[in-house]
Amino acid sequence: MQRIRIRYAKRGPLRFTSHRDFARAFERALRRAAAPVAFSQGFHPHPKISYASAAPTGVGSEAEYLEIGLQAEVDPEQLRLALDAALSPGLDVLETVVAGEGSLADRIDASRWRIELTGVDPAVAEAAVKSFVDAEEVLVERMTKQGRRSFDARSAVTHIAVTEQSDLPSGADGAPCAIIDLVVRLVTPAVRPDDVLSGLRVVAGLEPPVPSRVTRLAQGTLTAQGEIADPLEADRLAAHPG
C-alpha cells in the first residue's frame, strides 16, 4: 500500500466549509479522480484517510494536511492535479508527497496564524498584545464537547506580535487594519485564534468593530528558534535524496 501526504488550502468563502463537509467533498474528489483508495476491513469499510489538526470552521488556511492510503502506486503530482480539478475552487490541493517513515501527526505540534483586525488601530492592538504577553495567565471560556470550560489561553502562545508589514489595504472608509502574527503550540484543550482574541478582550478590552479574518499560515514542529518546520520536508528528502 502506498501512502500519500497532502497539503491543501481553504480560501475565500470556502473557509466556512466545516471539517465534516470537507471530508465528504474530499471523498467525492477521490472517486472523481479514480484514485485507488485503500479501505479498512470489517462490516463498514471506510477509505483510509487521516486528517491532521483541521482548522476551525470560518478560518482560512494555507497549511491543512491529510494522509491517504492507496492500493496501488500513483504519481503524486498527477494525483494532485486530478484532486485539485475535482474540488471546488477555494479548496486547493497544493502539494502531494509519498509518505516516508513515521507519523504525520508526530510532525505537527504548533501553528502560525495571521489575524486581521479591520477597524483596529495597530497601536491599540500593540498595547493589548503587550498586556497579554505580560500576563502570567489569561483565563477564557469556550463551549466544548464536554460543556463550557475555562482554560488558560496564554500558556500555549509562544509568539504574538503586531506586524509592521501588511499586504492589506485599509477599509473602504479608510479604517485601519491591525495584523497580528501568532504562534500557538498544540495543547489539550486546543487554544484557537478566537481564544487568543477572547484573551485580548479579557486583559485589554480589545473589541474589533467587525469580525476578524483569520488564516493559518503554517503547521509543523516548533523549532528552538521559534520557527515552524515543514512537516513534509523529510518526505521530500526521502523521495529525492541528495
Cell numbers standing for residue 82:
486530478
Give the DSSP letter of residue 45.
Answer: -
Structural domains for the chain: 2-99 (3.30.70.580), 107-222 (3.30.70)
Dihedral sign for Cα atoms in the order 12, 17, 23, 27: negative
User: pLDDT by residue for the chain (242 residues), tens digit each?
Assistant: 899 999 999 999 999 999 999 999 999 999 999 999 999 888 888 999 999 989 999 999 999 999 999 999 999 999 999 999 999 999 999 999 999 999 999 999 999 999 999 999 999 999 999 999 999 999 999 887 778 889 999 999 999 999 965 555 544 457 889 999 999 999 988 999 999 999 999 999 999 999 999 999 999 999 999 899 999 999 999 887 76
**Element containing residue 26 per DSSP (H, E):** helix 19-32
The identity of residue 192, as a single letter, is: R
* Spatial distance between the Cα atoms of 107 and 218, rounded to a whole number of angstroms: 12
C-alpha 88/C-alpha 14 separation (Å) is 8
Distances (CA, A) of 210 to 13, 66, 193: 17, 32, 16
Q: Taking a C-beta distance cutoff of 8 angstroms, is the pair 158, 191 a contact?
A: no
Tens-place pLDDT, residues 127-172: 999 999 999 999 999 887 778 889 999 999 999 999 965 555 544 4
d(C-alpha 69, C-alpha 101), whole Å: 14
- List C-alpha distances in Å: 185 to 22, 170, 178, 190, 193: 24, 31, 23, 8, 11
Cell numbers 497580528: residue: 180
Give the model confidence (pLDDT) of 87-102 as tens digits: 999 999 999 999 999 9
- Choose among 147, 134, 145, 143: nearest CA to 200: 134
CA distance 147 to 6: 33
